[in-house]
Chain A
Amino acid sequence: MWGSVDFIVNWFNDFSERRRLVRSFNRSAKQAFISGVAPTLLETKISNGDSAFRHNFSKFLGGGFRIKALSGIALNRQEMKQIGAVVLNNQELVRKLISLGFDTLEVHDNAGYNGLKWELYKYGGIGGILN
């Protein structure tokens, strides 16, 4: 019985932490856009993710961290790659995303039809022997 109570409490805790992370990203993106630091407005959403990228801690129907760029024009592959690379090179953020149940990073724009996605598990630097 206590096991299921613990499971429910953890589920709600994780859920609120995921929302907090997304909110803080969106807030910073908005501020950067308003102050002129960023030429495009970015927005993140929680999506379904790619089922091929699932790992043991993936959340059911909520494993995708989707970054949408409100650029007005279709972003080219290089620009999308740049946005993804900044997230993937920040190992602290990637590990946090993995621990919160995300498995896929998606980047797309609001005008084009193409987007890019990465498997987060590969970029977390996971492995090695525990001390």
Chain B
Amino acid sequence: MKNIIISYAWQGIALVEFLVICFLLFKNRRKQKDVLKDALNKNKKNKIDMDSLMVDMHHSQELYKKLSRKFHPDRFIGTSLMDEAEQIFKKIQENRTNYASLLEIQIEAEQTLKN
């Protein structure tokens, strides 16, 4: 009789453990789904910033020309800042139509290439 009770108790414990594992797996999967859903919803709300697009269209070219002239690597030939100048010039060329990024690069360049 005692053995039967013990075996039932073990079976009950095993069942409870199995249910807990299932619950945790289900919860984890749901959490992952929620993260993806949140990311998608966040993206839906994000509207394209047309105001900055207007600024890019009319002022980025001007700033690009100014920066590419001021921080051209040829100006730093023979100095220790040649590598940094090349990196900054690459960044300037990559962001030639993005006014906000060009402004950030200008600040960075002025700090790094100050000599």
Contact = CB atoms under 8 A, between A and B. Distances in A.
Interface of A: 21, 24-25, 27-29, 31-32, 37-40, 42, 82-83, 85-87, 89-90, 92-93, 96
B58 A24 contact: no
A51 B74 CA distance: 46
Interface residues of B, number: 16
A37 B55 CA distance: 7
Given A32-B58, A82-B97, 6 more contacts: A32-B55, A85-B97, A86-B53, A86-B97, A89-B97, A92-B48
Contact of A87 (B53, B58, B96): B53
Label chain A's interface by main secondary structure.
Answer: helix
A29 B54 CA distance: 6
Nearest to A78: B61
A122 to B, nearest CB: 17
A28 B57 contact: no
B86 interface: no
Nearest to A67: B57
Contact of A31 (B51, B59, B96, B97): B51
B48 A82 contact: no
A93 B51 CA distance: 13
Contacts of A29: 50, 54
Contact of B58 (A21, A25, A31, A38): A38
Given A82-B61, A85-B97, A89-B98, A28 B56 contact: no
Interface in B50-77: 50-51, 53-61
A28 B97 contact: no
Interface in B28-58: 47-48, 50-51, 53-58
B97 to A, nearest CB: 5
